[in-house]
Amino acid sequence: MTEPPQPPNQPPTPSGYGHLPGPPQPGYGYPQQGDNPYAQQPPTQPMQQPVPPSGPQQGYFPPPPGMPTAGMPTAGMYPAGGAPQPPKKKTAVIVAAAVAGVLVLGTGGYFAFLSGDGDPKQPVAQGSTPADAKASATVDNGDGSGNGSEPTEDLNAGRKQGEDKTLWLKTAKIDGPGLGVDSAGQWIVGGTVVKSVWKNLTAYGIADGKEKWTLAFPTPVCSVTKQTTAEGKTVVMFKDGDGDSATCNQMKQVDLKTGKEGWTKEVPKEGLFDIMTSPSLGITGDTVAVSRSGTASAFKVSTGDKLFGSATAEGCKPDAYVADKGKMIALATCYDDDLTGEVSDADPVTGKKTWTFRLPAKYKVGAVYSLDPLVLDIGNQDKKERAIVVLGPDGKQRATVSGEGSFATECANGLFRSVEICATTAVDAGTLYMPTVAAPGKANEIVAFDLGTGKAKWRTPAGDGRTIVPLSAANGQLIAYRKATSDQGGEVLSIPAAGGTPTALLRNPSGTSAPIESSFFTPVVDYADGRLFVSQSRLLAKGTAEKLLMVFGK
C-alpha cells in the first residue's frame, strides 16, 4: 500500500493489511435490567439523520469494508447525548503499523494498540476495607416540583456494611416528541447541580435534591458544554423553532449560579455553505467557540459579540475551534488536491496563530484528548488508519502513543458533530489515561501512558468482570468510576499517577439502588466534593416517569 508523503515534523504513517474483528460484542457495557421500573431500559427509538453537507468533515472515519453504513450509529452521531439505545454491534479494526510503536486505531469507536514494551504491573481495582456501617438516613423525597419527582421507596434498603449512601434520585415525567428529548447538560456549581432537560435548565440542591430554580427556553436546548467561565456562566444553544426543520442557531448566556439569563443572539453565518448541524461549544476565558459542519466562529461570553471566524481566518479554513482551560486550537482544511488537514494554536481573542502542524495527506483529526499538553487522535478515512500523537507547546511532535489492547474512544465526535475535548479519557501533566474494551463478562482496565515517551506506564484492571472509566485527573491522581452492576453499586476510585493500588473514595450501596444505577445508559457522570452525580443524557419522554439524576455520597 502506498505511503502518503511525510511532512518533516510528522511520524511515519501507518499502513494497513486487512481487518480483523475485535472484542466488542453486542451488549458491551449495557446494564442488566432489574425489577425496579427506574432500572428498565427504553426500547430502541429510530433517530432521524440529517443530510450530510458537502465538503470535508472533521471527526468522522467510515467503517471498514463490509460493514453496513446506512443508518449505522457512529460515536457522536446523535446530537447532545446520543440515542437512547446502543447500536446492535460494534466492530474494532486492527491494522498493522509500518513502524513499531505507532498506535493504530480502528473505526466504530474502538482502536487497537499493536506493540508495547512488556506488561506493566496490574493492581486490580478493589474496594476499601469495610467500615462500620452508618445508620441509613431517610431519603429526602424533595417537593416534586418542576420537571422532576422522586420515587417513594427507600433507596438505601439492602445497603451493606462499609457502603456509602444514595442521597437522592430525581425522575422526569415528560410528554415530548416521538424521538425523545435531550438531557445532556450537567453542571456542578456551588451547592447545586444544574441539569438540562428538553426546554429547561433546572438547578437542584446537592444536599437534598430540592429544586432551586428553573430557566425555561422557548424551544428545545440543542447544544451544551460542560465548560463555564470563572464566574459560573456558560452559553447554551437552542433551536429557532419547534418543527422538524428548526435550526440549532440560537445562543443564550446563562448564569448557572443564579439561573438568570443574559444575552440571546443568533449565530451569524460564515458563508453560503454554513450549515448549523449539531454545533459543538467550547469555552475558555471569555471566549465561546461554536463549531459546526466544517465552519467555526468565536464570540465573547460576556457580551455575545463576535470575535473571529472561519470566513476571516488566514490560510487554511478552520473547520472547528477546540477550547479548554485557557487554550484554543484550530482544526483546518486546506483546499489543495489532498484536502490536507492542519492543526494550529489560536489566540482566544483574535484567532491568530503562531505555529502550524500539517497532517499527512488524507489525515484528519478525529478527537482531541487534551490541549495542555496537546494530544490528538488523527486518522485516514480511505485507509481506515488512526494514530495518537503528542505535540509540544511549539506545535512540534513530541511523541506517538503505543501499547497493547483495544481501547474505547467514545468521544462526542461524528459525521455531523465537530471535534471537541473527549470526555471518556483523562490527561494530567505527562500522563494520558484510557479505558480498554473487554469481552462480555470480562473486566476492562485503565491504561496510563507516559506522554513524554508514548509508552504504557501501568494498567489497572477493574476486576470481577466490572468496567472502569476515567472521570478526571489532577494533582497526580486519577479519579475513576467503576460502574455498577445489577447487584453491586458503583465505586469512585483514586489511583496515583505513578500507579499503585486504587483507593475507594466512594462505595455506592447495593440493594435497591444498584439496579437503578447500573441501568443508566450513556450517562453523564461527575464527581465533585465527595459526591457522585449520574444522570441520563437522553429521555424517551413518553409521559411516564424516567430516572433522570442520581446522587451518591457519605
Q: Is residue 504 predicted with pLDDT exceeding 90?
A: yes
- Residue (of 412, 356, 426) closest to 60 by Cα position: 412
Which DSSP string corresponds to 212-262?
Answer: EEEEE-SS-EEE--S---TTSEEEEEEES-SSTT--EEEEEEEETTTTEEE
Give the model confidence (pLDDT) of 200-244 as tens digits: 999 999 999 999 999 999 999 999 999 999 999 999 999 999 988
Q: State the pLDDT at residue 441.
A: 86
- Residue (of 459, 463, 460) closest to 443 by Cα position: 463
CB atoms within 10 A of CB 494: 15
Domain residue spans of the chain: 273-422
| The residue count for the chain | 554
Q: Where are the alpha helices (DSSP H) in 59-130?
A: none
183-192, 265-274, 287-296, 367-376: least confidently modelled range = 265-274
Give the model confidence (pLDDT) of 55-69 as tens digits: 334 443 333 323 333
Q: Is 431 helix (H, G, I), strand (E, B) or coil?
A: strand
Contact 119, 261 (CB under 8 A): no
Task: Name the grid cell of 149.
Answer: 419527582
Q: Is residue 2 predicted with pLDDT exceeding 60?
A: no
Task: Provide mean pLDDT across the span 169-179.
Answer: 94
| 122, 123, 124, 128 alpha-carbon torsion, rounded to 10° | -170
**DSSP 8-state assignment for residue 310:** G
Assigned architecture for domain 273-422: 7 Propeller (2.130)
Q: State the pLDDT at residue 271.
A: 80
**Cell 463576535, located at residue:** 306
Buried b (16+ CB within 10 A) or exposed e, 192-219: bbbbbbbbbbbbbebeebbbbbbbebeb
Q: How confident is the model at residue 408 (pLDDT cuts 50, 70, 90)?
A: low
Contact 229, 253 (CB under 8 A): no
Q: Output 1 or 516, whichever has higher pLDDT.
A: 516
Give the model confidence (pLDDT) of 330-362 as tens digits: 999 998 888 899 999 999 999 999 999 999 999
Which DSSP string corresponds to 492-538?
Answer: EEEEETT----EEEEE---TTHHHHHTT-SS-EEEEETTEEEEE-SE
Task: Provide mean pLDDT across the span 415-427.
Answer: 83
**DSSP 8-state assignment for residue 311:** G
Sign of the dihedral defined by the CA atoms of residues 513, 514, 519, 525, in that order: positive
Separation between Cα atoms, residue 263 and residue 390, nearest integer Å: 38
Q: Output 316 or 51, whichever has higher pLDDT.
A: 316
How would you write 335-372 as a 3-class SS string? Answer: CCCCCCEEEEECCCCCCCCCCEEECCCCEEEEEEEEEC
Sign of the dihedral defined by the CA atoms of residues 341, 346, 351, 354, in that order: negative
140-144, 344-348, 407-411, 495-499: least confidently modelled range = 140-144
Q: How confident is the model at residue 419 (pLDDT cuts 50, 70, 90)?
A: confident
How would you write 36-74 as a 3-class SS string? Answer: CHHHCCCCCCCCCCCCCCCCCCCCCCCCCCCCCCCCCCC
Q: How confident is the model at residue 416 (pLDDT cuts 50, 70, 90)?
A: low
Average pLDDT over the chain, rounded to an integer: 78
Separation between Cα atoms, residue 513 and residue 526, nearest integer Å: 18
Give the model confidence (pLDDT) of 107-129 as tens digits: 333 344 433 344 444 555 554 33
Task: Provide mean pLDDT across the span 371-391.
Answer: 91
Q: Is residue 288 predicted with pLDDT exceeding 90?
A: yes
**In the beta sheet, which residues pair with residue 474?**
477
| pTM of structure | 0.77
Distance, C-alpha 135 to centroid of its chain: 36
21-25, 219-223, 286-290: least confidently modelled range = 21-25
Cβ contacts of residue 156 below 8 Å, gap of 6+? 136, 137, 139, 165, 166, 509, 511, 512, 513
- Residue (of 125, 126, 77, 93) closest to 22 by Cα position: 93
CB atoms within 10 A of CB 496: 15
